[in-house]
Amino acid sequence: MPRTASTVGGLTRAVGRSLGIVVLVVAAVTALGPLLWTLTTSLRTPAESFTNPPQWLPLHPDFSNYAAVFEQIPIGRFFLNSVIVTLLIVAGQTVTCMLSGYAFAMLKFPGRNAIFFAFLATMMVPLQTIIIPVFVIVRYMGLSDSLGSLVIPALGSAFGTFLMRQYFLQMPKELGEAATIDGASYFQVFSLVYARMAGPAIATLAILNFSGFWAEFYRPLIFLQTQDNYTLPLGLVGLQGNLGTGSISVVLAGVVLAMIPSVLLFIFAQRYFIEGITAGSFR
Amino acid sequence: MTVFTGLPILASFGLSFFSWDVISDPQFVGADNYVRMAGDAAVLSSFRVTILMAISVVVLQLALGLGLAVLVNQRRSDVARTFFRTAFYLPLLASTAAVSIFMGYMFDYKFGLINYYLQLVGLSSVPWLTSGFGAFVTIVLVAVWQQVGFTFVLFVAALMSVPKEILEAASIDGAKPWATLIRIKVPLISPTILFAGVVAFINAMQLFDQPYIMTKGGPGTATTTTTIVMYQSAFQNLQFGYGSAISIILLLMILAVTGLQFLAARKWVFYQ
């Protein structure tokens, strides 16, 4: 009897295991299918772009759609705008979040914890609740319809501050104390000792910011009016709008172009994407 | 930070008691905006859509994320684990605008890939984007498709931190895999589940890009989320006071549900 029971147990376990693989494969196909379809459809001739079954393996790729994107919209300009906005925000947040994170982790000042919790609380505030006043502030600063309207309000970040604070908290206090005894100023302790050890945290924040702001749609939609100032996501939706002249293959070629930087970054810096997501989970 | 987040919250709250088109001077109207909202069918319907959509997205995202994380962590080969992790993460890298564009084509009634495959297996085409319920389901599916990688990554990391000794002890005591999952793994990673639930919910309450690009909030008001109504009021009809009032209610809804999540968590979240 015991033998039969264990055989049945072994059998259900084997069935369970192969069922698991099936589920995983189906999920992976679901995750990757739309991306692959987008890529292959961007390589079909406009006449064939919407025919089924889809051609999963592009045996005769037609790159003319990529040239057509450049003819139909100033995508080079959109690309440049996205690069400028994203890089300025990444650089700015690296500096501001290092400073604020360091202050919350290492310096003692009155009301430190209260201010820190106020920072954390702002992470729960939806962008929608602050967008109208930010829109008004940006207008009064004379930044309406400019790339600055996207960059300046994004130079601080509660999440970035939190990430940097967690990182600085792990560092030994003794290093700074030793440097202080050697005559280093507050700022020197920060810039010469701790900031130089923050490389992994900086990489994590920079990479999350890059992929986040590269993809941003809502603020550009509200802040930008002139087509020449559009960033990529806004420009792509515009490209979809003048479909009368083109085919969906052209639109999808634009979508693929817009995704290339994020995917390249992911290939080279996978680890930091994962660290960034899990760093938020208060471990 | 203070200028671009702290003050704007107060300013939004203040503005919600005014009538203002940005050009002429603001007029103080007291609670009029809130009273008007209580009788505005479009806004009320958007609250319903937003909450139903957020709950659907969060439940699916947590369940699928956890299930996939458990299955991937069971794989013994490093190659398989890396492949599945990458596969589930990739959709997060596309912008929601790009995703909305290509998913819009895939869910097309006549030419779309989804209906093509449904017909291939003998089912009939579904009016994904042209019927109210279909559009709602489509937006939820597209949001979950893109976001599930986020909860997945969190759960993979949390499951890896479950002490091996506990699992070994359980298996020596003869615990079945399913019981191990429900009785040991889930309680041990419950803080991560709470965190993932809170973050996913805050995000899902702000769904904008997908319905704005794929359905313009339609058909009818089936996918008109609160963020869309707020965008239309403020930035299309230039009623900034009314828009602010809507955004304040959205904030309160998020705070209320997040608070509830933390309260309920006392019953099920287990800190070591």
Within the 183-202 window of chain B, which residues sit less than 8 Å (CB to CB) from chain A? 191-192, 195-196, 199, 202
Q: Which of A34, A213, A198, A252 is nearest to B87 (CA)?
A: A34
Q: Kindly report the average pLDDT of chain A as a whole number.
A: 86
pLDDT at site B138: 97
Q: Is A274–B153 a contact, with Cβ atoms under 8 angstroms apart?
A: yes
Q: Is A30–B145 a contact, with Cβ atoms under 8 angstroms apart?
A: yes
By percentage, how much of chain A surpasses pLDDT 90? 42
DSSP sequence for A244-257? GGS-HHHHHHHHHH
List the structure tokens of B95: 């912008």
pLDDT for B103 beyond 50: yes
pLDDT for A147 beyond 90: yes
Amino acid code (one letter) for B269: V
Say how far apart CA A279 and CA A97 lie, in whole Å. Answer: 15
Mutate to test the interface with A, among B76, B93, B189, B249 (most CBs of A within 10 A): B93
List the structure tokens of A59: 């045996």
List the structure tokens of A230: 């559009």
Sequence-separated (6 or more) residues with CB below 8 Å from residue B61: B144, B147, B148, B150, B151, B196, B200, B204
pLDDT at site A245: 52
Sequence-separated (6 or more) residues with CB below 8 Å from residue B64: A27, B144, B148, B151, B152
Contact A256, A42 (CB under 8 A): yes
List the structure tokens of B51: 């909450």
pLDDT at site B272: 63
Q: Is the dihedral of CA A67, A73, A79, A80 positive or negative?
A: positive
Contact A168, A101 (CB under 8 A): yes
> To the nearest whole angstrom, how far is the Cα of B132 from the nearest Cα of chain A?
23
Q: Which residue of A has its CA nearest to B64?
A: A27
Which residues is B18 bridged to in the sheet? B28
Amino acid code (one letter) for A172: P
Nearest CB to A130; choose among B8, B106, B158: B8
Which band of pLDDT confidence, cut at 50, 70 and 90, is reported for residue A1?
Answer: very low
Q: Is A137–B8 a contact, with Cβ atoms under 8 angstroms apart?
A: yes
Contact A214, A261 (CB under 8 A): yes
Query: How many residue pairs bridge chain A and chain B with CB atoms within 8 Å of each other?
Result: 211
Does B191 sit behind a cis peptide bond, omega within 30 degrees of 0 on the bond before it? no
pLDDT for A58 beyond 80: no
Nearest CB to A278; choose among B12, B95, B154: B154
Which band of pLDDT confidence, cut at 50, 70 and 90, is reported for residue B87?
Answer: very high
Say how far apart CA B133 and CA B124 lie, in whole Å. Answer: 16
Q: Which of A86, A7, A34, A54 is nearest to B91 (CA)?
A: A34
Contact B162, B185 (CB under 8 A): yes
Q: pLDDT tens across B222-261, in order?
A: 999 999 999 999 999 999 999 999 999 999 999 999 899 9
Contact list, A281 vs chain B (CB under 8 Å): 154, 157-158, 191-192, 195-196
Q: Tell the burial category of A87 from Cβ atoms under 10 Å away from its Cβ (0-12, 13-18, 19+).
A: middle
In this structure, what DSSP letter does residue B91 have?
Answer: H
Please compute the mean of the pLDDT values over residues A186-191 and round it to a whole number. Answer: 86
pLDDT for A49 beyond 80: no
Find the angle CA(A72)-CA(A41)-CA(B133) to the nearest 5 degrees: 95
pLDDT for B6 beyond 80: no
Nearest CB to A129; choose among B89, B94, B247: B247
pLDDT at site A2: 47
Say how far apart CA B33 and CA B21 lie, in whole Å. Answer: 14
Q: Is B105–A20 a contact, with Cβ atoms under 8 angstroms apart?
A: no
pLDDT at site B104: 92
Contact B62, B198 (CB under 8 A): no
Q: What are phi and psi of B27, to 5 degrees?
A: -110, 130
In this structure, what DSSP letter does residue B18 have?
Answer: E
Contact list, B158 vs chain A (CB under 8 Å): 281
> To the nearest whole angstrom, how far is the Cα of B52 from the nearest Cα of chain A?
18
Nearest CB to A54; choose among B86, B113, B213: B113
pLDDT at site A18: 83
pLDDT for A5 beyond 60: no
- Does residue B101 belong to the interface with chain A, where contact is any CB pair within 8 Å? yes
Q: What is the pTM of this model?
A: 0.91
Contact A123, A179 (CB under 8 A): no
pLDDT at site A31: 96
Q: Is B94–A125 a contact, with Cβ atoms under 8 angstroms apart?
A: no
List the structure tokens of B271: 């800190």
In terms of average pLDDT, the best of A36-50, B113-127, B135-149, B164-178 is: B135-149
Say how far apart CA A210 and CA A216 lie, in whole Å. Answer: 10
B123 vs A270, residue with greater confidence: B123
pLDDT at site A6: 55
Amino acid code (one letter) for B127: P
> To the nearest whole angstrom, how far is the Cα of A258 from the nearest Cα of chain B?
8
Nearest CB to A133; choose among B8, B64, B89: B8
By percentage, how much of chain A surpasses pLDDT 70? 93
Q: What are phi and psi of B19, to 5 degrees?
A: -110, 125
Nearest CB to B157; choose among A13, A251, A278: A278
Q: pLDDT tens across A239-255, in order?
A: 887 655 557 888 999 99
Q: pLDDT tens across B201-215, in order?
A: 999 999 999 999 999
pLDDT for A283 beyond 70: no
- Does residue B20 belong to the interface with chain A, where contact is any CB pair within 8 Å? no
Contact A166, A98 (CB under 8 A): no
pLDDT at site B2: 61
Please compute the mean of the pLDDT values over residues B93-122 and round it to a whole number. Answer: 92
